[in-house]
Amino acid sequence: MAETITLARPYAKASFEVALAAKELGEWSEALKLLASVSANELVRKHLLSPSLTATQQAETLIQLCGAELRPKAHNLVRLLAENKRLPLLADISELFDAMKANQEMTLAVDMSTAFELNKDVLNKITQALQSRLNREIKLQTRVDRDLIGGAVIRAGDTVIDNSVRGKLTKLAEAMNS
């Protein structure tokens, strides 16, 4: 996994720089997501990796499959990836691009699992607290996980805040067993 990220990084960085200069971060993000989604399809992936296709044929096939939704500027990236046999990296490139985009825009996607549904006032307070603590605009996604028993688990990038009853019971059990 680390190897594919390493290979994808220069392409993601170059795409990001082009998009940033053109002020098209959102459009490029959507284009990369589309390319990653289409190329992840099992039949498409097998076809694109067929040794009987030239790099040009692979690129044109992917471009045609994406249709008019794929902007012409992204066509060059597809052709470059095909020439360098890097089409399988599209998912990693998209992921890295979105991380760079979020960093540039000072945003952070936060996932919060709670034992019960929370009202809007509580969600707003949590969002504001996270914004001040992490110094970023927060895009909060919530879901209910009854297995938590109570409390919440918040995942913000590499940071995990586990304030759930299940988490506390697990820590207690580990402390008692050691």
Report how far residue 136's alpha carbon sits from residue 70's, in angstroms, rounded to the nearest whole number: 30
CATH tag, 2-103: 1.10.520.20
pLDDT digits (tens, 9 = 90+) for 64-77: 999 888 888 899 99
Mean pLDDT, all residues of the chain: 91
Fold type of domain 107-177 = Glutaredoxin (3.40.30)
pLDDT digits (tens, 9 = 90+) for 7-54: 999 999 999 999 999 999 999 999 999 999 999 999 999 988 888 999
Domain boundaries, the chain: 2-103, 107-177
DSSP conformation class of 48: H
Q: Mean pLDDT, to the nearest integer, of 105-111? A: 89
What share of the chain has pLDDT > 70, as a percent? Answer: 99
Give the pLDDT band of residue 86 (cuts 50, 70, 90): very high
pTM of the model: 0.72
Residue 94 pLDDT: 95
Residue 2 pLDDT: 57
One-letter amino acid of 39: S
Residue 156 pLDDT: 84
Q: With 60 as the cut, is the pLDDT of residue 117 above it? A: yes
Long-range pairs for 132-140: beta carbons < 8 A, 24 or more residues apart = 134/108, 134/159, 135/106, 136/106, 136/107, 136/108, 137/105, 137/106, 137/107, 137/108, 138/107, 138/108, 138/110, 139/107, 139/108, 139/109, 139/110, 140/110, 140/112
Alpha helices in the chain (DSSP H): 2-21, 25-40, 42-48, 55-66, 72-83, 90-105, 120-134, 165-177
Fold matches, 2-103 and 107-177: no
Q: Mean pLDDT, to the nearest integer, of 122-141? A: 89
B/e letters for 1-34, b = 16+ CB within 10 Å, e = fewer, are: eeeeeeebeebbeebbeebeeeeebeebbbbbbb
